[in-house]
Amino acid sequence: MQKRIFTVLFFIVSFFSMADDGSRLWLKYDLIKDQKQKLSYQKYTKFISISANHPTLQKTAEELQMGFAGLLGTKTNIVSNNSQAGGVVLEVSTNQALTNDLANDGFAIFAQKGNLVISSKSEAGVLYGAFELLRRIQTGQSLNENIVSSPKIKIRMLNHWDNANGTVERGYAGSSIWKWNELPFRIDPRYIAYARANASLGINATSINNVNASSRFLTAEYLEKIKAVADVLRPYGIKVFISVNFRSPRTLGGLKTSDPLDPEVRKWWNEKTKEIHQYIPDFGGYLVKANSEGEPGPQDYGRTHADGANMLAEAMKPFSGIVIWRAFVYNADPNGDRFKEAYEQFKPLDGKFDEKVIVQVKNGPIDFMPREPFHPMFGNFPNTKLGIEFQITQEYLGQSTHLTYLAPMFKECLDTDTYSKGKGSTVAKVIDGSLYNNPNSLIAGVANTGSDANWCGHPFNQANWYAFGRLAWDYTLSSEKIANEWIGMTLTNDEKAKIQINEIMQKSLPTYISYTYPLGLHHMMGEGHHYGPEPWLTKAARPDWTSIYYHKADSVGLGFDRTGKLSNAIKLYSKEINETWGNPEKCDLNYLLWFHHIAWNKKLSTGNTLWEELCYRYYNGVVEVQKLQKDWLKLQPYIDTETFASVNARLKTQEKESIWWRDACVLYFKDFSKMPIPNSLTPPNRSLEEVKKIVEIYHLR
């Protein structure tokens, strides 16, 4: 008897002291401790009723069943068409007053005849409603009010940069989640966990492979593997897309050309598209990176991006799929300005793309830099469907070691006014289709998932996947609200701790920018790996891959003059934007060096000279990281031990590397400014040569 009691006790103790490896993401469903709260939710747990036998409704019911078991400790049966009270009713309906105005994937949740009804016009909408219900229970919210919600953007997508060999381009969380060598026969349970996590946010599309695409993904062997993944994702409302290599008709089809106007090439794509649909009948479509960074494309044959995209659109005509064509293009012109190149290549094509084509534009004109002004294509292409692409993986934002919460950055871009149709013409309204009456709206995020147990490397990087998904559904949500939800579901529901963690998250991006790219500096990172500082990078495979191309430091000052002398990129924006960003006296300091070459001794609105302000910001960034470290330490009692230790250790690295960035940039620019570091700051205790050595180590083979 005693032995049995001991064994039971042992299991209880080891269960509760078990460290959390983060694998459950924000879908932990741990038991709610507050009895009153638990009781208030239990009144709807007698049953879960589904109105039709549909795989998505079945998955929805199972998710609720699992959620209720974990959160509320109840065993809830799934029934069909129940007529009693006290349960959750899942229904696909067009008749409810509340669902009338909903978008197809929208949902309503309301009490009716003693039940809680989740209603939508589509099965996927019911699934999203169920996840909303679980979110509310997980975060302790009341269910007394009706909930009505519709997505603002139609295609909410993750772009995986995953390769056939299992590596992930710009992935910082292990290898690819797709186990190509095991597919199609073994279905890794993580595919299901991945589908649930995305569905919980309303993400409904996934492009499965790197945009630097291998033709291998179009072979029958790989289509069978992709089909196996698509079959797992389908019940969760997620469509699969494939990134394609434009040269595939040659490499795979044995044709002499991949010219998009060649009839044989067109025939090849038509047949390939048909073949794909035999494996994946609801195939989402193609994602294409063409004539960019060495990738093949229609320009190789003297054709335009529109020629290439429209050829694929033609192949897609018999089907529901679309073609997503990326606008991330730039030529290696030492005298040009990369800022303008996508705009200039695409502008003559406005109105020439097939209606099945969406042109996917990065949020900023260069390349996912920590803070970019919005891409000038937004608002200037009234006759082209434009989608937006953000990067969730933090290539330039601390990768897996720096705590950087990205929702404020995504929102800053979406909320900026393009003024293209007068005040209020925000980037978000260009994207959601409302400004130019475009029904096929798209938002994509480059995924940060990998094989690490916690999916994303840094525990806080999960919040960026979460935030992207929530904003893709509704970009009006505040970054504070999103963070609060994520913290509550992932870290702790202690109110005081939640406030402190939220503060850490909100401060994290300005802190990161302060010690890396203050005042609108950009593109000064280590060559190739894009980690750490390398402002002295003068030679690279292309001039626009160096740092000096962007910061233009000289004896006079710092920054890229985009107002007419070197480039007139500012003119791509509206008159209103020219009046602010175009004027160094009025330009938001956060964007100053994006648009202006400012003299070192120029007094800024802060009262400091440019040089002083630069030094203060670099130094302050380090101080802020040290504060983040201290604030995190105070949270230990509220956070699971493994997560706490992981963040704590990463913050130590972050502190060390913030000093690295500060010393590298201050010492390097000092040689140009010829001014001393302000007296109130302690000068670096190493020389520029010593700092440069750190980067050399990174390049050692």
* Of 289 and 596, CB closest to ligand GCV: 289
What's the DSSP call for residue 525? B
**266 contacts 314 by C-beta, under 8 angstroms:** yes
* Of 27 and 358, CB closest to ligand GCV: 358
* Of 368 and 660, CB closest to ligand GCV: 368
Does the annotation mark 395 as catalytic? Answer: yes
Strands 322-326 and 47-50: unpaired
- Residue 160 touching ligand GCV (CB under 6 A): no
- Residue 330 touching ligand GCV (CB under 6 A): no
Q: How many residues bind ligand GCV (CB under 6 A)?
A: 10
Site pattern 5..44 for ligand GCV (x: CB under 6 A): ----------------------------------------
**482 contacts 470 by C-beta, under 8 angstroms:** yes
Q: Copy the structure tokens of residue 143.
A: 């269910």
- Residue 328 touching ligand GCV (CB under 6 A): yes
Name beta bridge partners: 225: none
Name beta bridge partners: 603: 609
Cα–Cα distance between 162 and 281 in angstroms, integer? 23
Residues 553-582 that bind ligand GCV (CB under 6 A): none
Question: In the complex, what is the shortest distance from the CB of residue 451 to ligand GCV, in angstroms, rounded to a whole number?
Answer: 19
Q: Which of 134, 132, 136 minimizes the C-alpha distance to 149?
A: 132
Name beta bridge partners: 107: 149
Question: In the complex, what is the shortest distance from the CB of residue 289 to ligand GCV, in angstroms, rounded to a whole number?
Answer: 5
* Of 290 and 610, CB closest to ligand GCV: 290
Q: Copy the structure tokens of residue 621.
A: 């960034």
Q: Which of helix, strand or coil describes residue 203?
A: coil
**Is 697 buried (19+), middle (13-18) or exposed (0-12) by CB count in 10 A?**
exposed
- Residue 695 touching ligand GCV (CB under 6 A): no
Does the annotation mark 293 as catalytic? Answer: yes
**491 contacts 405 by C-beta, under 8 angstroms:** no
Question: In the complex, what is the shortest distance from the CB of residue 410 to ligand GCV, in angstroms, rounded to a whole number?
Answer: 17
Strands 598-599 and 557-558: antiparallel
Residues 211-240 that bind ligand GCV (CB under 6 A): 211-212
What's the DSSP call for residue 426? B
Q: Which of 417, 356, 362 minimizes the C-alpha distance to 387?
A: 362
Question: In the complex, what is the shortest distance from the CB of residue 368 to ligand GCV, in angstroms, rounded to a whole number?
Answer: 7
Cα–Cα distance between 655 and 474 in angstroms, integer? 34
Does the annotation mark 503 as catalytic? Answer: no
- Residue 161 touching ligand GCV (CB under 6 A): yes
Cα–Cα distance between 383 and 525 in angstroms, integer? 36
- Residue 527 touching ligand GCV (CB under 6 A): no
- Residue 170 touching ligand GCV (CB under 6 A): yes
Pick from 28, 122, 143, 169: which binds ligand GCV (CB under 6 A)?
169
Question: In the complex, what is the shortest distance from the CB of residue 525 to ligand GCV, in angstroms, rounded to a whole number?
Answer: 10
**Is 67 buried (19+), middle (13-18) or exposed (0-12) by CB count in 10 A?**
buried
- Using only C-alpha atoms, the chain has a radius of gyration, in whole angstroms, of 26
Q: Which H or E run includes 112?
A: strand 107-112
* Of 26 and 161, CB closest to ligand GCV: 161
Single-letter residue type at 572 = L
Give me the catalytic one of 105, 367, 534, 640. Answer: 367
Residues 263-322 that bind ligand GCV (CB under 6 A): 289, 293
Q: Copy the structure tokens of residue 150.
A: 């519709």
* Of 293 and 655, CB closest to ligand GCV: 293
* Of 537 and 598, CB closest to ligand GCV: 537
Question: In the complex, what is the shortest distance from the CB of residue 453 to ligand GCV, in angstroms, rounded to a whole number?
Answer: 25
Give me the catalytic one of 372, 395, 485, 534. Answer: 395
Pick from 20, 91, 367, 561: which binds ligand GCV (CB under 6 A)?
367
Site pattern 383..402 for ligand GCV (x: CB under 6 A): ------------x-------
Question: In the complex, what is the shortest distance from the CB of residue 629 to ligand GCV, in angstroms, rounded to a whole number?
Answer: 30
Question: In the complex, what is the shortest distance from the CB of residue 205 to ligand GCV, in angstroms, rounded to a whole number?
Answer: 18
Site of tokens 């020219």: 578
Torsion, Cα of 221, 227, 229, 230 (10° steps): 160
Question: In the complex, what is the shortest distance from the CB of residue 376 to ligand GCV, in angstroms, rounded to a whole number?
Answer: 18
Give me the catalytic one of 188, 231, 293, 494. Answer: 293
Q: Copy the structure tokens of residue 29.
A: 């469903």
For the beta carbon of residue 584, count every other beta carbon within 10 angstroms.
18
* Of 291 and 490, CB closest to ligand GCV: 291
Residues that bind ligand GCV (CB under 6 A): 161, 169-170, 211-212, 289, 293, 328, 367, 395
Residues forming the active site: 293, 367, 395
